[in-house]
Amino acid sequence: MLKLEPRPSASATMRYVSPLAAVALTLFASLFLFAALGKDPFTAFRVFFLNPLRDMHALTELLLKATPLMLIGIGLAVGYRANVWNIGAEGQFVMGAIAATGVALQAGDGGPWTWVLMLLAGAFGGGMWAAVPALLRTRWRANEILVTLMMVYIAQFAASWLVHGPWKNPDGFNFPQTRMFADAALLPILVEGTRLNAAFLVALATLAVGYVFLERSFYGYQMQVAGEADAAARYAGYSASRAIWIGMLASGGMAGVAGVAEVAGPMGQLTESISSGYGFAAIIVAFVGRLHPVGICLASLLMALLFLGGEQAQQFINLPSSISKVFQGLLLFFLLGADLFIGYRIRFDRTVNPGKLPWKTT
């Protein structure tokens, strides 16, 4: 009988090789998926995976798409290292966008630093939205997975109410959206003629700060110990509550900044469709990147490629854009499968007789 047996020690090398294996398996599986959908697999592969890299404009779009994923992914990694499972970054992303929109609408033409105030407001909005599950977890041991997930829908309904009600653009032909932001409330463009803006530099700076915090600081070490050996962390006197608060506020704040990057960047306003799935996709980014800033940067680019590939597939070969979510799911599936075999191995146990198992004798 086949059974899974824990390995004496998991291979450290394979932990870093398995994301590459998952990517290779996803690309290989894409050929079969395209063929099953009635498309020439090699043409579809070129359109989906290579078109988004064809020229400088396409590359800037890739970086633009990867920016919110980098911001959210590094924030989530801080909490995940300490086993603080924030699944609601999507809601914190929306609340950051709402807070920044409030500043932009109040500031009007404002001054040249309006977008800086928007970044601070977005971080505050996302952080405060994440503080609610942190408080419930530390005070009443509420499950942060369920709380953060349910709060996503509250944030989405709040955004919908605002753009249908008090913030609705009276000149917007009844579309659920705010007024377009003034120029002072828009992030500066980095490459003329493209949409790549200063949020990309903010994301790179955040990854650098995240690297120092996670890999070179004492607090980062505490959080890693709390995640890998809870009993050892308690014995050493590390505060579990502090790890929860740091993890939730960091992930919420970064998700809020990502929301600002979206409304003050390519959108230029708050709309009902602000919830674009970045918060959920960043969970995959964090794990494919092995909760390491460099890995998260590379995984964000890969995930951005899947988003853009879905749009290209819809435009050129008439496939639904949602196919990008299928590839995201495949990537996570193969990664989890590879991780399973890093920690366990398959053994054939001749001593077990399936006919004598308890459920067979009743």
CA dihedral over 29, 34, 38, 40, signed as positive or negative: negative
For residue 169, give the DSSP letter.
Answer: -
Contact 95, 257 (CB under 8 A): no
Q: Is residue 104 part of a domain?
A: yes
For residue 175, give the DSSP letter.
Answer: -
Write the pLDDT tens digit of every residue in 58-105: 999 999 999 999 999 999 999 998 889 999 999 999 999 999 999 999
Q: Is residue 272 part of a domain?
A: yes
Structure tokens belonging to residue 144: 């942060």
Contact 73, 285 (CB under 8 A): yes
- The gap between the terminal CA atoms of the chain, to the nearest Å, is 20
Write the pLDDT tens digit of every residue in 134-163: 999 999 989 999 999 999 999 999 999 999
CA gap 93, 68 in Å, rounded? 9
What pLDDT does 136 receive?
94
CA gap 278, 61 in Å, rounded? 15
Contact 93, 148 (CB under 8 A): no
Size of the chain, expressed as the number of residues it contains:
362
What pLDDT does 361 receive?
45
CA gap 312, 324 in Å, rounded? 10
Cα torsion through 151, 154, 158, 159, rounded to 10: 70
Write the pLDDT tens digit of every residue in 94-134: 999 999 999 999 987 777 789 889 999 999 999 999 999 99
Q: Is residue 79 part of a domain?
A: yes
Q: Is residue 189 part of a domain?
A: yes
**pLDDT at position 15 over 70:** yes
The CB-based long-range contact list for 27-34 (8 Å cut-off, 24+ gap) reads 29/330, 29/334, 30/327, 30/330, 33/323, 33/326
Structure tokens belonging to residue 176: 């659920």
For residue 344, give the DSSP letter.
Answer: E
For residue 354, give the DSSP letter.
Answer: G
Structure tokens belonging to residue 7: 């390995």
Among residues 70, 347, 82, 13, the alpha carbon closest in space to that of 208 is found at 70
Q: Is residue 125 part of a domain?
A: yes
Q: How many helices (H) and strands (E) does the chain have?
A: 14, 2
Among residues 328, 290, 292, the alpha carbon closest in space to that of 309 is found at 328
Q: Is residue 97 part of a domain?
A: yes
Amino acid identity at 257: V
Contact 137, 146 (CB under 8 A): no
Other C-beta atoms lying within 10 Å of the C-beta of residue 221: 15
Q: What is the mean pLDDT of residues 46-62?
A: 90
Mean pLDDT value across the chain: 88
Q: Is residue 20 part of a domain?
A: no
Q: Which domain holds residue 277?
A: 70-292
Beta bridge mates, 271: 177
**pLDDT at position 211 over 80:** yes
The C-alpha R_g of the chain, in whole angstroms, comes to 22
Number of domains in the chain: 1
Q: Is residue 30 part of a domain?
A: no
What pLDDT does 12 receive?
76
Flag the least confident range among 78-92, 159-173, 197-211, 233-247. 233-247
| DSSP codes joined into one string, 248-273 | HHHHHHHHHHHHHHHIIIII-S-BGG
Amino acid identity at 231: A
Q: Which residue stretches of 53-165 are H helix?
A: 56-80, 89-107, 114-140, 144-164
CA gap 302, 322 in Å, rounded? 16
